[in-house]
């Protein structure tokens, strides 16, 4: 019998990444658009880095899991165009889940501040090679900041499309697509 | 003749006593520093350092001190800060593994207070500093305590964006609490 739901690992990673992204968006917008004062600003940047690397690790696992574990099939009634759109959106999401943290890691590595990353204040995390050894870091960091910022807005758009589509399936089409990704506790409730 | 020999040997023994070398017990002593990062004060200490001190309370002006500090041994209890400190922007221990303080001649002030005019070298930058300290000698044991405020950027500690005090205050405190015993006693 084919699976009708995602497995526990896929569900766990999905929601971990979802929470991480929401936190990163909130923190990212706050730390770049609000005047926090030096101490809070420093702390939220460190937290953003910690969560970002967590999401990168979870996204890598998610992609590996996805490649080795077939997800449940889409409903038979789903039109071909929508299937393609769903597949394309997922590929784009995975790509951005990896690209965003990588550009963040790159810009931290290229920062003239050269602040060591210690995940959650506990686990030392290295800078990327080459970038951290640049003679003139400022222009590279500036460019990476723009890339990271623009890519973040694209990811926000993708997340909205993803969530919007899930809600459409759940509330309008009522085809159980969303329930396939819900943790068992929520599903029973 | 016998008297002469006795006198000579007494002088021979008296000579080092006059120089009054003190062996600093680093395990009982403390060499620390303090600063303010993003408004939050922090304290740290150096784990590896040594001090050669010769001091005779009767002749403080003839005293001499040399303190050599292994900068890579700086610890503040914060992994992030402790990782940054030895790097090129801060102590740059790869090029300047040690800081030194060398003073010749101590000036007695009121009571047990003294001042040591010396040269402090950090990151290869040597500056004249006046180090105030108090000294308590009890028999063969002595305790010296002092506090000094330095402007870190004078020595180039904090490069690039760190040359401003926006994130890390420019003023840094140095504290010491040395316990020494008279050498040879």
Residue A138 to residue A151: CA distance in whole angstroms: 20
A-chain residue closest to B83, CA distance: A116
Closest-CA residue in chain B for A36?
A: B38
Cβ distance of A42 and B161 shorter than 8 Å: no
Does A136 touch chain B if contact means CB atoms closer than 8 Å? no
H or E stretch including A83?
helix A80-109
Judging contacts by C-beta atoms under 8 Å, the chain A residues touching residue B78 are 121
Q: How confident is the model at residue B185 (pLDDT cuts 50, 70, 90)?
A: low
CATH number at residue A160: 1.20.950.20
pLDDT of residue B183: 80
Averages of pLDDT over each 10 residues, chain A, 189 residues: 84 97 97 93 97 98 96 91 95 97 98 96 96 95 98 97 96 92 80
User: What residue spans define the domains of chain B?
Assistant: 20-182
Query: What is the least distance, in Å, from the CA of B83 to any CA of chain A?
Result: 7
pLDDT in tens, B116-170: 999 999 999 999 999 999 999 888 999 999 999 999 999 999 999 999 999 999 9
With respect to CATH, is domain B20-182 assigned 2.40.128.110?
yes
Please report the residues numbered 54 through 93 in chain B whose beta carbons come closer than 8 angstroms to any beta carbon of chain A.
78-80, 83-84, 87-89
Backbone angles phi, psi at B153, to 5 degrees: -70, -20
Instruction: For residue range B113-123, list pLDDT tens digits in order.
Output: 999 999 999 99
Q: Which residue stretches of chain B are H helix?
A: 2-19, 79-84
Give the residue from chain B lying closest to A43, CA to CA: B38
| Residue A1 domain flag | no
pLDDT at A119: 97
Condensed to tens digits (0 to 9), the pLDDT of residues B25-36 reads 999 999 999 999
Q: What is the pLDDT of residue B139?
A: 87
Question: Chain B residue closest to A123 (CA)?
Answer: B79
For residues A152 and A25, is the Cβ–Cβ distance under 8 A? yes
What is the rounded average pLDDT of the residues B78-92? 97
- Yes or no, beta carbons of A116 and B83 under 8 Å apart: yes
Interchain CB contacts (distance < 8 Å): A and B: 41
Spell out which residues of chain B touch residue A38, defining contact as CB-CB under 8 Å.
38-39, 166-167
Residue A2 lies in a domain: no
Number of H helices, E strands in chain A: 5, 2
- A88 has a chain B CB within 8 A of its CB: no
CA distances from B67 to A157, A169, B121, B128, B176 (A): 60, 73, 10, 14, 11
pLDDT of A45 reads 97
Give the domain extent around A78: 8-188
Q: What is the pLDDT of residues B52-83, one digit of tens each?
A: 999 888 899 999 999 999 999 999 999 999 99
User: What's the confidence (pLDDT) of residue B11?
Assistant: 44
- Count how many domains chain A has: 1
CB proximity A133 to B under 8 Å: no
């Amino acid at each position: 019998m084919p699976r009708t739901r995602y497995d526990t690992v896929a569900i766990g990673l999905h929601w971990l990444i979802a929470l991480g992204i929401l936190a990163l968006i909130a923190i990212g917008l706050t730390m770049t658009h609000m005047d926090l004062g030096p101490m809070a600003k420093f702390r939220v940047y460190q937290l953003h880095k910690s969560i970002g690397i967590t999401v990168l690790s979870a996204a890598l696992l998610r992609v590996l899991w996805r490649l080795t574990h077939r997800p449940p099939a889409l409903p038979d009634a789903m039109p071909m165009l929508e299937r393609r759109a769903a597949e394309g959106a997922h590929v784009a999401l995975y790509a951005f889940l990896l690209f965003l943290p990588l550009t963040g890691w790159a810009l931290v590595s290229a920062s003239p501040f050269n602040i060591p990353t210690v995940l959650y204040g506990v686990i030392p995390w290295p800078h990327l090679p080459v970038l951290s050894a640049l003679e003139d870091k400022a222009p590279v960091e500036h460019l990476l900041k723009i890339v990271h910022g623009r890519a973040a807005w694209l990811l926000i758009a993708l997340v909205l499309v993803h969530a919007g589509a899930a809600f459409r399936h759940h509330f309008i089409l009522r085809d159980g697509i969303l329930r396939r990704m819900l943790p068992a506790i929520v599903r029973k409730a | 003749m016998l008297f002469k020999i006795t006198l000579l040997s007494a002088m021979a023994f008296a000579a080092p006593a006059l120089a009054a070398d003190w062996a600093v017990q680093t395990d009982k002593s403390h060499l620390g520093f303090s600063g303010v990062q993003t408004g939050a004060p922090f304290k740290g200490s150096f784990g590896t350092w040594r001090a050669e001190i010769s001091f005779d309370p009767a002749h403080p002006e003839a005293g001499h001190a040399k303190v050599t500090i292994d900068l890579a041994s700086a610890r503040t209890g914060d992994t992030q800060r402790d990782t940054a400190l030895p790097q090129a922007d801060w102590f740059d221990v790869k090029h300047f593994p040690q800081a030194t303080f060398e003073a010749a001649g101590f000036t007695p002030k009121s009571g047990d207070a003294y001042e040591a005019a010396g040269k402090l070298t950090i990151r290869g930058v040597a500056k004249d500093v006046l180090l105030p300290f108090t000294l308590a000698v009890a028999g063969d044991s002595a305790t010296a305590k002092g506090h000094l405020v330095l402007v870190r950027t004078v020595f180039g500690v904090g490069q690039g964006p760190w040359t401003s005090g926006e994130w890390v205050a420019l003023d840094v405190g140095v504290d010491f609490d040395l316990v020494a015993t008279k050498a040879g006693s």
